[in-house]
Amino acid sequence: MNFTDEQRAFAKSVADFCQREAGTRAQRDQLTGNGAELHSEELYRKMAGLGWAGIIVPEEYGGAGAGNVEMCIFLEETMRGGAPMGGVGPTFITAAAYAKYASEELKKEVLTGVTAGDSLAISMSEPEAGSDVGALTCRAEKVDGGWLINGQKTWCSNAHFANSILLIARTDRGGKKHEGLTQFHIPAGTTGLKIQGIDTLGGREVNDLYFTDCFVPDEHVVGEVDNGWNQLMAGLNIERLILGAMQLGVAQRSFDDTLKFITERKQFGRPVGTFQALRHRMADHATEIECAKLLVYSLADKADANPGKIFPREASMVKLKTTETSKAMTIDGMQMMGGYGYATEFDAESLMRGAIISTVYGGTNEIQRDVVGKTFGL
């Protein structure tokens, strides 16, 4: 990739900010309640003050209106810098959907909030509808002046602190399973919505949502009624690119931390990194990370050059490669650090916990392989 001078300067600015504001374990613990939370609103709003939270928001709503390459630079450097901002991925994914499909009134409300540091969530999965999103049953029934929503959602990231949730619900049960889906804007605190956290290996990050006679006015429909599936499919480039850029940053952070440790740690009279077993492992990981980076920025560049075009093969390859690379690097990083990698004193174990789930959310990697295979007519 041939980054411009401006892009390189931007990457350095984000890296410097992360080092200054969250460069030490003590700083990160203070921002997250000793690791209890994965997203620091305080830090995120500081970044918003620099104009970075609205990097992909159109200029008319206070954003920078930047391209996908700049977005990936921001996400990569943020995750590499260890900034506790786990909510940024779902926020950017959801903001892109509002920018494309929401009414002008909703765009002004939601997107100007994003530029100020508001967080968003998107809710698709249900207990019986994970990879098979078309099987969802949470229903929205038309009533006078709006819609009445009933049902359950699950695995919803950000919902416990998001300013609003973009809900995908079934509005018509008469056609094929991918038909009759609609997107709805659900502000935080809406009557009839109950949010219940799910304890996970990575901490508090996802939630169950329960809708009981939850009224949503007509003006909170996002896009076309019954056409939610096509709207979701049109957003796959941005979703998988966002997840890919974030996991690229995680992989690089794990590599950086591991390299520092094995350079300083001595056994048998010399740094452990000089032993062939570890040296070769790090060489392999450096190569895999470089491959992942090229995939990410190649897709970002294509998406910028061809707005509106869907790149299913490239997007699935990005998600597949970056998350597998991140998972492998963080697990190996723990192994190379020995017992210290297992200790909570270091970040290795938390990086590993966060990377493992990345191969599941945003479309499992089995689904990504299936998508890639189908693009070859298989």
For residues 96 and 168, give the distance between their C-alpha atoms in angstroms, rounded to a whole number: 15
Is 141 a residue of the active site? no
Element (H, E) at 271: strand 270-271
Identity at 108, one-letter amino acid code: K
Structure tokens at 375: 């693009």
Backbone Cα Rg of the chain:
21
Cα–Cα dist 265/103, whole Å: 57
Instruction: Please tell me the distance from the alpha carbon of residue 253 to that of residue 21, in angstroms, as a whole number.
Output: 16
Cα 293 → chain centroid? 16
Is-contact 168 183, C-beta < 8 A?
A: yes
DSSP string over 78-106: HHHTT--BTTHHHHHHHHHHHHHHS-HHH
Sign of CA dihedral 230, 234, 235, 237: positive
**Which of 239, 288, 314, 349 is flagged as catalytic?**
239
Residue that is written with structure tokens 């100007």 in the block: 112
User: Which residue in 75, 130, 152, 90 sits closest to 326, CA to CA?
Assistant: 75
Closest by alpha carbon to 57, among 48, 369, 20? Answer: 48
The four Cα atoms 232, 236, 240, 243 give a dihedral, to 10 degrees, of: -30
The secondary structure of residue 377, as a DSSP letter, is: T
8 Å CB contact between 109 and 115: no
Catalytic residue ranges: 239
